[in-house]
Amino acid sequence: MNIDASHGCPTCKKLFKTKPGLLQHVAQSHPPTTVDPVTNQERPLFKFQCSVDYCRKVFATKARLTTHESEHAAGESKSQAAPFSKPKF
Ligand SMILES: [Zn+2]
Ligand SMILES: [Zn+2]
């Protein structure tokens, strides 16, 4: 056996060769949860994930995700073309 047990997933016991591999698995398969103070039930802490491949940030509310994604859109159109170049004076 040549598997480092320190990279075992504490939730599903899956083993990983590298720590980043384990962390990526945990983030994707076992998203952080929180206990709802009203219902006392566990629920996902972050439900809304950015659809941009290189980003994948997660947000607690849809509104924050929407705001974030619009920033991506604005940034991309800016880098493609700058139709309005504001004069400084
Ligand atoms: Zn796991
Ligand atoms: Zn994003």
* CATH number of the domain that residue 9 is part of: 3.30.160
The dihedral sign for the CA sequence 66, 70, 76, 80: positive
Name the percent of the chain lying above pLDDT 90: 25
Report CA(12)–ligand 1 centroid distance (Å).
4
How far is the centre of ligand 1, averaged over its atoms, from the C-alpha of 16 (Å)? 10
Query: How far apart, in whole angstroms, are the C-alpha atoms of residue 26 and residue 21?
Result: 9
% the chain with pLDDT above 70? 76
Domain count, the chain: 2
Task: Output the CA 31–ligand 2 centroid distance in Å.
Answer: 17
The whole-number average pLDDT for the span 8-26 is: 90
Structural domain span for residue 15: 1-30
Which ligand places an atom closest to the C-alpha of 9? 1
**Mean pLDDT score, 32-48:** 78
38 shares a domain with 25: no
Q: Identify the pLDDT of residue 15.
A: 92
Question: Does 2 lie in the same domain as 22?
Answer: yes
CA of residue 50 to ligand 2 center, whole Å: 5
Q: For position 75, what pLDDT does the model report?
A: 84
Residue 51 Cα to ligand 2 middle (Å):
7
Q: What is the pLDDT of residue 33?
A: 77
Q: What is the mean pLDDT of residues 12-20?
A: 92
Supply the pLDDT for residue 77: 66
Residue 86 lies in a domain: no
